[in-house]
Structure 1
Amino acid sequence: MEKENLSKKLYSRNFKKWGFDMNLFVSIVSAILVLAFIIFTIAKPELSKTTFNNINNGLNENFNWLYVLTINLSFIFLLVIGISKLGRIKLGGFTAKPEYNNFSWYAMLFSAGIGIGIFFYGVAEPIYHESIPQGLSSGSTFDNFKVMYMHWGAHAWALYGLVAIGLGYFAYNKKLPFSFRSLFYPLIKDKIFGIWGDIIDTFAVLAVLFGLATSLGLGAKQINSGMNYVFGIPVSSTVQIILIVIITFIATLSVVSGISKGIKLLSQANTIISGVLLLAILLIGPTVYILSTYMSSMGLYIKDFFGAGLFTATAADDISWQGTWTVFYWAWWISWTPFVGTFIARISKGRTIREIAIGTVALPTVIITIAMTILGASGVYTNDLHGGVIKQAIDSNIATAMFEMFRYMIDSKALQMVFSFVAIIAIVLFFVTSSDSGSLVVDNLTSGGKQDSPKTQRVFWALMEGLIALSVLLLGGEAALKTIQSAVVITGLPFAILLIIMMYSLSKELKKSYKKHEYNTILKLKRRMDKLDDDVEYKQ
């Protein structure tokens, strides 16, 4: 009751006019910081680029071990609580039921968590990883796929599952605000309802906004490159503006209609279209080579799971490679936990901790590794067969690699066009579903944790994401977008520390909750036994 009163006090500080219900501190400070950063990036592009590159290099050289530690601890922690007795705890309480069926749940989970990575990096990454540090090499010809699985598989998804369980538990079971601040209740207690909670949420909002705006801006350039390659549409800022406007418009309609309609339906469509496209590539492409590559690579990935996952570079060249790839990816995934983890928590009420722990790691890892192997093995096969044409496309413009693969893998020009068109639709849908789910998360964070904020506010944040991407792209270009991307990756360091602290506090809270869960289980069984006794007595 006391926590509910404090939540009401938190909401009473919100600005409630003109269709808004915002926490003023989080909203205004976030807006000011975003604006200041954009102005600095655009006004001083070289200085900002140099500054953030130097910071990134310093973090990579001195804290690569921390990113590696956080990723592996998150996986082990999630595995332990998932298979332990704590895994029986439900988000929302003993009697809660899932709000979405399994297909809808997985579709939304994939659409928010994967983005366009499958199609953008799937073809290119195995070719990039033909040269890796000695410490990661097993001597196998499938080491390149093993490294790709490590970057996109269980380690990354464990982070999202961890935050989803933590936030879902504190919000649904402990009746705390549905906001990132609630993860730290065991540490700072009622201070989450004050300035400390506001600071935590502001930090999370910045990570989400910058991450989504960067993806939207770079994605528009990637889609434009693909459209130019396939349809001859020129690569220009005008086309990219139109793409961002269209994606933002569709995402706005989706987020206004809510999770149960727009976001769910678009995610389902996205999953089906992507699945059909990948299945078609598997059947038309080098099927036996793809399946053989997957079996061998997955065996190697499982065998070297902790050896590769715990690899921490010490030599200068290896540090540089790991900073460009592994540390970059893992810092990026960590910085995206406020977005993806919060969204997964939002759609997971009624599910047990075990369901979420296994559901966000096992199946996503299998599916994403299969998907990227279909593209990656097809790319490697085509590249070897045609004298390095895919590598040339990657070096020239990575966005065209998949379309170049279609050109050499499929004999019919008409079929090449069909595959390319479907691929562009799938990529656009991935951006839309990332944008609308991200807008919903920002809406939760800026309202102090409310799940039922006004539609006007959802529209505002969806439009803000589009405007940030437009302004940076038009005024600062790709260099400005990459600088913002570097800034997002830098936020991975403090989030890494917070995640380690959160694991400790969450374990303590779950142990307390389990006792209550067991009491409710025994009580439920006793009621059933009493009912059976009553029925037997009545019949007699």
Structure 2
Amino acid sequence: MSEERDYTRPDGKVNPIDTDYKIGQDNIVFKVGPFGLDIHNRVFLISGVTVIAFVVFTLLFRNQAGPWFGGLREWLTSNLDWFFIASGNVFVLVCLGLAFSPLGRVRLGGTEAKPDYSYLGWFSMLFAAGMGIGLMFFGVSEPLSHFSSAFGGVAAEGGVRTDWAPLAGAAGDAHAAQRLAMAATIYHWALHPWAIYAVLALGLALFSFNKGLPLTVRSVFYPLLGERVWGWPGHVVDILAIFATLFGLATSLGLGASQAASGLNFLFGIPAGETTQIVLVIAITAVATASVVSGLDAGVKRLSELNMILALVLLAFIVAAGPTLAIIGGFFDSLGAYAQYLPALANPFGREDANFSQGWTAFYWAWWISWSPFVGMFIARVSRGRTVREFIISVLIVPSLACALWMSVFGGTAIGQFVRDGYTAAMEADLPLQLFVVLDALPFAQITSFFGIVLVVVFFVTSSDSGSLVIDVISAGGKFDAPMPQRVFWCTFEGLVAIALVLGGGLVALQAMAVSTGFPFTIVLLMSTVAVVKGLLSEPRAR
């Protein structure tokens, strides 16, 4: 027996996303399919079958998959690093242009709309949505990597640009090297990634709350495609959004598994190889599935709140246990260095800087872009009632400062241990292990290291269950009340993709898939900026 749902738009029109809809005079009725599924047939089937084929291929041809992933990543980053960097600049400039233009007075939800959340609650959700496991994995390792390159004056793999004039003075100058390292790190975690999220989030909110279209990526392209957005052009956009989100999340899950496994090895001597990582992925995916089954409020919301509390506790401990005044002063010094070096960092054409632009920036930008459907949809859902100016300034500035503070505290502590105390263990450790080695030099090392593992796991679960919900919404044509089996399907396959990538090449495979799915979606995002501007031009503006 079929279930009927009303899909009438506020303007009286209908959204014929699929031929399986029954179109009436005033509404659209959708038939729930076999097994109680409520899916968009073409988007769900194409994306689902492709993901299954990818998992099977990677697991069956593990020996061939590793070199293939490595070659794919190297080709994309070596040939397209300029494209990713230039695109990131476009997103920042578009956001700033909209914020300070008359279009900034447009209110999401209409001129009379009121915000659903207080500023404090809204800011907390904005930060929680965007970074996740990456803060734990790279909070120590990225500043240390850049510092070792700048301080040593050597073009180490993944290091800072090798032909900067400041490097001539940075070699052997700890303070100059630290400023350069923190500027490069904050560049990857501040305005540019949040502008990527803001562009898509603004489009989703505008076309859902103001235009009455489904909350799915294809809706953003209505000004460009018209009614064709409900046909194959729209199908392609949503399928790309699913691929980008799925592989972007799988990259995060793989990083989280490798870091949690390294922490368990450091504390308890448990081997940190593939077997441990796979067990962790399976266990945490099971917890994430249980969270998804519990629903948005009972599961995802509570885990997100726990996530934020644990992160703040660990951050406060580092500040209190370390050289507090130096850490606080370092934060402001790092912001100054970021402002000073930003033009050079964001230059896509000016220098031969393969280690930095290809090894770090191109990967990061592709990773953030692959996360943009997931994060953008979440931000859109919690931002009704905000003006465009308020939305953009808040989405760019507040989370950027929070990420800069996190990186300054963890990275500054790690660099300080090397400079002041001669503590070299963190710099010599593998990337997933560096956080725990830094904690080992502070009081209560066993407790804080275990706390760090728990925080990685909670970040892991939060990303997985939230991402599953978003992918399910896209594959169901923008419906948030889709049946539970669909959410379980996507949550399960996120875990399977992460396992396949861990077995098929580890960190290189994870980065390769983030870059390869981020590239086509970069084109989608660039087109969406035009659609967002056209959509805003037709909106009334608040006084």
TM-score interval (norm. to shorter): 0.7 to 0.9
C-alpha contact 1:219 1:431 (8 A) present in aligned 2: yes
Structure 2: gaps (5+ residues): 1-10, 23-29, 150-159, 170-175
Q: Could you say what secondary structure the match of 2:16 adopts?
A: helix
1:392 is matched with 428
Q: Could you say what secondary structure the match of 2:34 adopts?
A: coil
Are the structure 2 counterparts of residues 148 and 408 from structure 1 closer, same or farther at C-alpha, using a change threshold of 3 Å?
same
CA distance in 2, matches of 1:135, 1:92: 49
1:523-534 alignment runs, 5 A limit: none
Q: Could you say what secondary structure the match of 1:214 adopts?
A: helix
C-alpha contact 1:111 1:430 (8 A) present in aligned 2: no
Matched, 1:517 2:541: yes
Instruction: After TM superposition, give the deviation of residue 239 of structure 1 in Å.
Output: 4.0
Matched, 1:352 2:362: no
Aligned pair partner of 2:495 in 448, 466, 489: 466
C-alpha contact 2:108 2:388 (8 A) present in aligned 1: yes
2:475 is matched with 446
Q: Could you say what secondary structure the match of 1:358 adopts?
A: helix
Are the structure 2 counterparts of residues 216 and 55 from structure 1 closer, same or farther at C-alpha, using a change threshold of 3 Å?
closer
CA distance in 1, matches of 2:489, 2:52: 16
1:498-509 alignment runs, 5 A limit: 498-509=524-535
2:76 is matched with 59
C-alpha contact 1:208 1:442 (8 A) present in aligned 2: yes
CA distance in 2, matches of 1:217, 1:62: 25
CA distance in 2, matches of 1:56, 1:419: 35
- Of residues 156-165 and 455-464 in structure 1, the stretch that sits farther from structure 2 once superposed is 455-464
What is the number of equivalent residue pairs in this alignment?
A: 505
C-alpha contact 1:78 1:161 (8 A) present in aligned 2: yes
2:441 is matched with 408
1:344-383 alignment runs, 5 A limit: 344-383=379-418
1:253 is matched with 290
Are the structure 2 counterparts of residues 262 and 210 from structure 1 closer, same or farther at C-alpha, using a change threshold of 3 Å?
same
C-alpha contact 2:245 2:467 (8 A) present in aligned 1: yes
1:37 is matched with 54
C-alpha contact 1:168 1:349 (8 A) present in aligned 2: yes
Cα deviation 1:368-404 (Å, max 9, x = unaligned):
11111111111111123134221111xxx22221111
Instruction: After TM superposition, give the deviation of residue 74 of structure 1 in Å.
Output: 0.6
Instruction: After TM superposition, give the deviation of residue 301 of structure 1 in Å.
Output: 0.9
C-alpha contact 1:116 1:427 (8 A) present in aligned 2: yes
Q: Could you say what secondary structure the match of 1:18 adopts?
A: helix
CA distance in 2, matches of 1:464, 1:103: 34
Are the structure 2 counterparts of residues 137 and 441 from structure 1 closer, same or farther at C-alpha, using a change threshold of 3 Å?
farther
C-alpha contact 2:247 2:370 (8 A) present in aligned 1: no
CA distance in 1, matches of 2:260, 2:21: 41
Letter in 1 for 2:437: E
Are the structure 2 counterparts of residues 374 and 208 from structure 1 closer, same or farther at C-alpha, using a change threshold of 3 Å?
same
2:173 is matched with none
Cα deviation 1:406-438 (Å, max 9, x = unaligned):
22233xxxx112211221121111111111110
1:324 is matched with 359
CA distance in 1, matches of 2:40, 2:478: 9
Letter in 1 for 2:526: I
1:487 is matched with 513
C-alpha contact 1:15 1:23 (8 A) present in aligned 2: no
CA distance in 2, matches of 1:6, 1:277: 49
CA distance in 2, matches of 1:60, 1:351: 37
Matched, 1:262 2:290: no
Letter in 2 for 1:399: P
1:6 is matched with 16
Instruction: After TM superposition, give the deviation of residue 501 of structure 1 in Å.
Output: 1.9
* TM-score, normalised relative to structure 2: 0.87
Q: Which structure features the higher share of helix residues? A: 1
1:166 is matched with 203
Instruction: After TM superposition, give the deviation of residue 234 of structure 1 in Å.
Output: 3.5
- Of residues 363-372 and 291-300 in structure 1, the stretch that sits farther from structure 2 once superposed is 291-300
CA distance in 2, matches of 1:388, 1:362: 34
Q: Could you say what secondary structure the match of 1:122 adopts?
A: helix
CA distance in 1, matches of 2:71, 2:498: 24
Letter in 2 for 1:106: F
Aligned pair partner of 1:73 in 90, 101, 106: 90
Structure 1: gaps (5+ residues): 522-540
CA distance in 2, matches of 1:9, 1:346: 27
Letter in 2 for 1:401: Q
CA distance in 2, matches of 1:245, 1:42: 16
Letter in 1 for 2:523: I
CA distance in 1, matches of 2:320, 2:65: 47
2:124 is matched with 107
2:451 is matched with 422
- Percent sequence identity over matched residues? 39
Matched, 1:231 2:268: yes
Are the structure 2 counterparts of residues 472 and 144 from structure 1 closer, same or farther at C-alpha, using a change threshold of 3 Å?
closer
2:5 is matched with none
